[in-house]
Structure 1
Amino acid sequence: MTKQAVIGIDIGTTSTKAVAFDAEAKPVFHYAVAYPIINTKPNFAEQDPELVFDAVLSCLKAVVQLLCDCNYELKGVCFSSAMHSLIALDKKGNLLTNCIIWADARSMAQAANLKNSVIGHSIYLHTGTPLHPMSPLPKICWLRESNPSLFREAAKFIGIKEYVFYKLYGEYKIDYSIASATGLFNIFDLNWHSDALEMAGISTSQLSEPVPASYTFSGMKRAYADKLGINADLPFVIGASDGCLANLGADAVCEGDAVVTIGTSGAIRVTADKPATDLKERIFSYVLTPEKYILGGAVNNGGIVLQWFRDNFYGAEAEVAKVNEEDIFTMLNAEAASVAPGSDGLLFLPYLLGERSPHWNAAARACFFGVHYTHGRAHFLRALMEGIIFGLYSVGMALEQTMGPVKRIYANGGFTHSDLWVQMLADVFNVEVRLTDTAEGSALGAALLGMHTLGMIKNLEDAGKLLKVQKTFTPNVEANRIYMRNYALFEDLYPKLESSFSQAVHLNHKQSQV
């Protein structure tokens, strides 16, 4: 019997990876290519679109060859991609800009103006995309204001996945999922939102045609098909965004299912059967399919905060660990576990890098509160870990107010290597937390979507039958009681400190000029 495979491609911020999965959704081959983030000026963050495109080709070619060598039949390819990217092209399809990525903050003023306006609030309620510099809407506004000649020359405004498909097929198509993260797309009628386009000063002709995640390309340009070693009519499924596909890859496809990811940053995303927006503009609402929506929020401050604490307060231990080939994070977990839940009243607001959801405040700053003579280094470490979970819980509460209770959580990301940290998550949210058996969430989600599109699985809910739960964490009632007491104070602190955050940023700016 012929072995079948589907490739999931994940176009990320610093690398692209291709993962081949067999018919049982088990990863069989993996290949990745890295590329740099380009920071030409303060607040600028870009990619070279040609480097990304070459990375896609290299990853595909390598995995296709591995499949061929092992006698697999490749059924198709499906794509995941990071959201919020923006590229301007001229009328011949030539690049006018690099790819401006989600981390770019040059449009802070435009985003702030939109956020503080009546029309901006209306645009959010229709598009589900928070008014923030990450979003293509304020980025286009910035281009129009800062470089009017380039703006006039631009015939198309597209994202990185659209650029890849334009190069391969000569078509401008955008999936509903990526479109729903632009701030330009009405998530209720699944088409471009006229008010947002008017605000940006562009027309629908300058954007790609929105299509479902199941849209399938065929007839690849011969030169690229030959280079990849595939038939030009091999199905290439357009797919969706990385965040939405991570939910699918974690089997979180039923209403009330949530995925919590903590890597460098963090996110919580809940699956819903219909779109919804938040009057307080705290969360995003993105499309997976017309029947499945992903609501949630991303936080800036995840594992990078723990890394900062390790580097600055555990320097000697880290050097010893390097010499002895020990895991410094194992030692950190043991030290944090020596302190009881609640850190004896010590709280940490984790806004080391400002914050996205739920506050969307780039000026927010981190602080410890309630410091007492009895607190030692381990208390600060545990409070830091708890504070990161509290930050995600505050997003979770905004989600519950919008679309109902979180019923269960699927966890992924680097923090899942720490049982202590995952147990904190279960205790704070007071729900069961499950770890599934894959580390390739978005690529797996893309492959599962591809399998569904190609008829290999009947519906998306069937995807869960292919995944296995590795470990389950049950909440501790007493720990939850303690955490809720601390969380009440955590929530009370932010509004009281908000104006002081801006003053702190101003002081830092003034002192840096001395």
Structure 2
Amino acid sequence: MSSAEHVLALDLGSSSVRALVLDAGAGLRVRALSRRQVRIELRPDGAATLDPHTYVAAVHHCLDELRDAGSLDGVTRVAVASQWHSLLVVDGRGDPVTPVFTWAGNQELCAPGITTDEAERLRLATGCELATLYWTLRVPWLRASGAVPRGAVLVSIAGHVLEALVGRRTESASIASGTGLLDLAELAWHPAALDVAGIATGELPELAPSGEALPGGPTLARRYPQLARVPWHVAVGDGAAATVGSGAVPGRDLTITVGTSAAARLLERRDSAGRLQRGCWRYLVDDETVVTGQAWSGGGNLFAWAQEVLRLPADPDELEALLAAVPERAIPIAVPYLYGPRPGNPAELRSGRWTGLSAQVTAAGLLAGLLDGLGFELRLGIANLEEQAGRPASRVLLGGGAVTASRWWQRRLGAQLGSPHMCLVTEPEVTAVGAAAQAAGLAWTPPLESLAAVPELAGRWDRRFEEYLGAREEAIG
């Protein structure tokens, strides 16, 4: 693509929708950004949902704002990054009949009646264990509640948004790999996984190869004529986009991304990725590349929860100062599972807990303990992925909006994780940048700064890590 071309990147997150215009000739520099908050509703049954009508309206709000500012002029392609694991039931016309069920759900679902060997074969074929996060368990739960009427279709929020904008119902292989239903070797719906989920192929959208571009439709021509004749690339999973946007080299680097949630990931070539070890999942970046990793439901949402419930200041600078002033002896050990487990986490960890509370502990100390707990979980993830790779990581690339917004947390993680080759990815929009780089076929090298572990603190952190592992074992029971 020429250096004068611009990429529009849609970032379909679970806490916000973002639309960014990036300059491909200037290192994917962000030229314009529009953002709209969305709110997850926590239901009594443990499900965490988004309203699909409000969500599509948020996308239109962002696009309208960029259009009215003239920022869509010159856009030559559209890239999409989307939250993985979302599930929405639509009717034959594409109208929603359920809310969007997100990754954050913590509902109790029944395990299917298959053997351990059958479950293991499915895990290795699809990259996904039989867990609450995936459609293999969620769809039977929804069907039992009567929420899947005759003629309905199961889609992701990415598929629904693209249908609303370009008029074609399709699901990218990258997004489909986060459902637990995709055969990673064949790049097709896995028949045995569909049987477990009780899904007929007619209830699913057509599969599009990752990177396929869709033409615009009448909706675009009327409302966004600047985007009607440019290719719309089908969605890539947000974790895959963040890994690419972090500048990871396949097989060499590990990435740690902390946004609303948190994940540790290893980028690998699909044809040379090793056998998937227990505790890890594997999804597609594109048809040639996979990302293997572990994820945690707690991330930046721990900050948001603490600010609201513990009445901590919303001003970032004020909160940073409070965290920096907390004495080490007043930071309790915390197991940070406020939002339940993700695949690879022990299923018993369905709630958080603090140990070592005293009258010295403040609200800021409680938050510091939660963030420390997540750091120790990430330390476990690094060890597991280095075992998966069969070698130590060349670099550990730390990024994501929650981390780039907090110097206190950056320093804390740099000491906790203990990697001598840790770098901070200073680009706050790694997901959008990664999606744009994928769509445009560009190599991406983000700006990095050193964030090595603090040597004199290593012994103390090792002791706290051992204390954390003890508290974690007690929480598992």
2-side partners of 1:399 and 1:491: how far apart?
18
| Aligned match for 1:221, one of 217, 222, 225 | 217
Distance 1:100 1:393, change over 3 A: same
Aligned to 2:74: 73
Deviates more, 1:379-388 or 1:17-26: 379-388
Q: 1:226-248 CA distances to partner (integer Å, 9 max, x unpaired)?
A: 21122633111113011110111
| Aligned match for 2:295, one of 292, 295, 298 | 298
In the alignment, is residue 498 of structure 1 matched against residue 476 of structure 2? yes
Letter in 2 for 1:226: R
Aligned to 1:194: 191
Unpaired runs of at least 5, structure 2: none
**1:99-248 residue pairs with structure 2 within 5 A?**
99-106=100-107, 108-110=108-110, 112-113=111-112, 117-147=116-146, 151=148, 153-218=150-215, 220-230=216-226, 232-248=228-244
Distance 1:200 1:351, change over 3 A: closer
In the alignment, is residue 415 of structure 1 matched against residue 403 of structure 2? yes
In the alignment, is residue 400 of structure 1 matched against residue 400 of structure 2? no
Report if the CA contact (8 A) 2:106-2:340 is conserved.
no
2-side partners of 1:356 and 1:177: how far apart?
19
1-side partners of 2:116 and 2:67: how far apart?
50
2-side partners of 1:126 and 1:302: how far apart?
29
When the two structures are aligned, how many residues end up with a matched partner?
468
Aligned to 1:328: 318
Give the match's secondary structure for 2:248: coil
2-side partners of 1:309 and 1:57: how far apart?
31
Report if the CA contact (8 A) 2:376-2:417 is conserved.
no
Q: 1:408-445 CA distances to partner (integer Å, 9 max, x unpaired)?
A: 22222323343343233233333233223421121111
| Aligned match for 2:435, one of 434, 442, 446 | 446
Letter in 1 for 2:36: V
Distance 1:356 1:73, change over 3 A: same
2-side partners of 1:371 and 1:2: how far apart?
57
**1:257-406 residue pairs with structure 2 within 5 A?**
257-274=253-270, 275=273, 278-280=276-278, 282-305=279-302, 318=312, 327-336=317-326, 338-339=327-328, 347-356=333-342, 358-361=344-347, 363-369=349-355, 383-404=369-390, 405-406=392-393
Q: 1:458-500 CA distances to partner (integer Å, 9 max, x unpaired)?
A: xxxx211xx322x31112334334323432443344344423x
2-side partners of 1:33 and 1:326: how far apart?
19
Aligned to 2:424: 435
Task: Give the C-alpha shift of residue 179 in structure 1.
Answer: 0.7
2-side partners of 1:172 and 1:160: how far apart?
11
2-side partners of 1:493 and 1:289: how far apart?
39
Task: Give the C-alpha shift of residue 67 in structure 1.
Answer: 4.0
Report if the CA contact (8 A) 2:330-2:365 is conserved.
yes
Task: Give the C-alpha shift of residue 175 in structure 1.
Answer: 1.4
2-side partners of 1:103 and 1:93: how far apart?
24
2-side partners of 1:326 and 1:285: how far apart?
35
Give the match's secondary structure for 1:21: strand
1-side partners of 2:396 and 2:464: how far apart?
22
1-side partners of 2:203 and 2:413: how far apart?
44
Aligned to 2:65: 62
Task: Give the C-alpha shift of residue 133 in structure 1.
Answer: 2.0
Give the match's secondary structure for 1:352: coil
Aligned to 1:473: 451
1-side partners of 2:395 and 2:447: how far apart?
15
Identical residues among aligned pairs (%): 24
2-side partners of 1:103 and 1:252: how far apart?
26
Aligned to 1:463: 444
2-side partners of 1:232 and 1:250: how far apart?
30
Report if the CA contact (8 A) 1:61-1:229 is conserved.
no
Give the match's secondary structure for 1:178: helix
- TM-score, structure 1 length as denominator? 0.81
Distance 1:115 1:132, change over 3 A: farther
Give the match's secondary structure for 1:480: helix
Unpaired runs of at least 5, structure 1: 500-514
Give the match's secondary structure for 1:230: helix
Q: 1:239-277 CA distances to partner (integer Å, 9 max, x unpaired)?
A: 301111011122124323222233443222221223456
Task: Give the C-alpha shift of residue 222 in structure 1.
Answer: 2.1
1-side partners of 2:128 and 2:316: how far apart?
43
Task: Give the C-alpha shift of residue 204 in structure 1.
Answer: 2.4
2-side partners of 1:38 and 1:153: how far apart?
27
2-side partners of 1:306 and 1:38: how far apart?
18
Task: Give the C-alpha shift of residue 391 in structure 1.
Answer: 1.4
Larger radius of gyration: 1
Report if the CA contact (8 A) 1:390-1:487 is conserved.
yes
- TM-score, structure 2 length as denominator? 0.86
Letter in 1 for 2:51: D
Deviates more, 1:187-196 or 1:29-38: 29-38
2-side partners of 1:308 and 1:45: how far apart?
15
Task: Give the C-alpha shift of residue 140 in structure 1.
Answer: 0.8
Give the match's secondary structure for 2:236: strand
Distance 1:12 1:146, change over 3 A: same
Distance 1:305 1:206, change over 3 A: closer
Report if the CA contact (8 A) 1:132-1:360 is conserved.
no
In the alignment, is residue 9 of structure 1 matched against residue 14 of structure 2? no
2-side partners of 1:152 and 1:357: how far apart?
29
Give the match's secondary structure for 1:463: coil
Deviates more, 1:151-160 or 1:236-245: 151-160
2-side partners of 1:87 and 1:47: how far apart?
10
Give the match's secondary structure for 1:327: helix
RMSD, aligned CA: 3.2
Higher percent of residues as helix: 1
Task: Give the C-alpha shift of residue 193 in structure 1.
Answer: 1.0
1-side partners of 2:194 and 2:429: how far apart?
35
Letter in 1 for 2:159: E
